[in-house]
């Protein structure tokens, strides 16, 4: 595996490449990221992984400063999972002096993560994803279902900008006890780690309530109660349409249960696809 730091080197390295698969990341790689790289390895001739801690998508500067960074470790893991090229640009490579262009995806980026982290979050995500897709020019780009609203924002942006790339979405990789893997999990204290299971417990309670015939708002309330039992207060726990993130009212169609909650000093998110309920 080779590491490149500029878009010029990247284009040179990819000239004449066959099917290119691309996995954008912010580093601190774990099994969730590696599942995307392995999927790309299976499907494509050349696998590009980017590692870029994108400053513009952080609404909280403390979170940006605390974000784990270890490029040597990331390079070894990416290579082991089958990456051919690691794109590790500096911030001024992505945001040149005088940078003045922002990609904003209206609608789907506004509720939930958009409301809690501010418009700056998905503007930062949409802008950097658009720039990376233009720089790499992949045939397929791989994203994790873990960041479900990000997937919906990226799908909208790819359709709206007419980018010629297929978006592949890989399932959430979890720890054996059910906690969704995240680069932020290492910041959970030993005392907080068991409480982090509240997110998955809340989602499971919503799924159970839907199966038992509850209406959407009642199912959300039951999930919230289960989280309270574990001492965690969700920022939101909601049933939504997976494409638009509008509140779901019709449970005879597949919906998505989404949750975000602070656990100690760490903000976590998770989600669960809820299959369509058979009409009575």
Active-site positions? Answer: 33
Q: Is 234 in the site for ligand AMP (CB under 6 A)?
A: no
10 vs 152, beta carbon nearer ligand AMP: 152
CB 256 within 8 Å of CB 242: yes
Q: Is 237 in the site for ligand AMP (CB under 6 A)?
A: no
Distance CA 68, CA 88 (A): 15
Q: Is 40 in the site for ligand AMP (CB under 6 A)?
A: no
Shortest CB 132 distance to ligand AMP, Å: 11
For residue 257, which of 210, 180, 203, 202 has the smallest C-alpha distance?
203
Distance CA 90, CA 230 (A): 41
For residue 139, which of 276, 275, 17 has the smallest C-alpha distance?
17
CB 227 within 8 Å of CB 200: no
* 20, containing H or E segment: strand 20-25
Q: Which residue in the shown chain puts its C-beta closest to ligand AMP? A: 144
3-state secondary structure of 256: strand
Interacting span for ligand AMP (CB under 6 A) from 6-14, 80-88, 103-111, 175-183: 175-183
Q: Is 172 in the site for ligand AMP (CB under 6 A)?
A: yes
Q: Is 181 in the site for ligand AMP (CB under 6 A)?
A: yes
Q: Is 147 in the site for ligand AMP (CB under 6 A)?
A: yes
Q: Is 224 in the site for ligand AMP (CB under 6 A)?
A: no
CB 271 within 8 Å of CB 203: yes
Distance CA 132, CA 41 (A): 19
180 vs 256, beta carbon nearer ligand AMP: 180
Shortest CB 154 distance to ligand AMP, Å: 9
Interacting span for ligand AMP (CB under 6 A) from 90-98, 131-139, 176-184, 212-220: 176-184
Among 144, 202, 223, 242, binds ligand AMP (CB under 6 A): 144
Distance CA 91, CA 6 (A): 11
List, in sequence order, every residue forming a beta bridge with 46; answer none if it has no partner. 20
Q: Is 146 in the site for ligand AMP (CB under 6 A)?
A: yes
- Which residues of the chain form contacts with ligand AMP (CB under 6 A)? 25-26, 32-33, 35-36, 143-144, 146-147, 170, 172-173, 180-183
């Amino acid at each position: 595996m080779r590491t490149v730091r500029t878009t010029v080197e990247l284009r040179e390295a990819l000239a004449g490449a066959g099917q290119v698969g691309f996995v954008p990341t912010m580093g601190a790689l774990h099994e969730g990221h590696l599942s995307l790289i392995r999927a790309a390895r299976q499907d494509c001739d050349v696998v590009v992984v980017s590692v870029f801690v994108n400053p513009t998508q952080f609404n909280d500067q403390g979170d940006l400063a605390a974000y784990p960074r270890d490029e040597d470790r990331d390079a070894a893991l990416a290579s082991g999972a089958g990456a051919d090229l690691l794109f590790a640009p500096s911030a001024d490579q992505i945001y040149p002096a005088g940078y003045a262009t922002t990609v904003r995806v209206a609608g789907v980026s506004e509720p939930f993560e958009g409301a809690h982290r501010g418009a700056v979050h998905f503007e930062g995500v949409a802008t950097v994803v658009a720039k990376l897709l233009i720089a790499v020019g992949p045939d397929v780009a791989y994203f994790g279902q873990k960041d479900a609203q990000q997937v919906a924002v990226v799908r909208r942006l790819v359709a709206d900008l007419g980018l010629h790339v297929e978006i592949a979405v890989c399932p959430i990789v979890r720890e054996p006890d059910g906690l969704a893997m995240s680069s932020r999990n290492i910041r959970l204290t030993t005392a907080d780690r068991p409480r982090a299971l509240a997110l998955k417990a809340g989602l499971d309670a919503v799924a159970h309530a839907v199966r038992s015939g509850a209406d959407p708002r009642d199912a959300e309330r039951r999930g919230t109660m289960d989280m309270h039992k574990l001492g965690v207060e969700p920022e939101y726990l909601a049933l939504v349409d997976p494409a638009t993130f509008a509140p779901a009212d019709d449970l005879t169609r597949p919906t998505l249960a989404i949750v975000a909650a602070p656990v100690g000093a760490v903000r976590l998110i998770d989600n669960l696809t809820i299959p369509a309920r058979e009409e009575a």
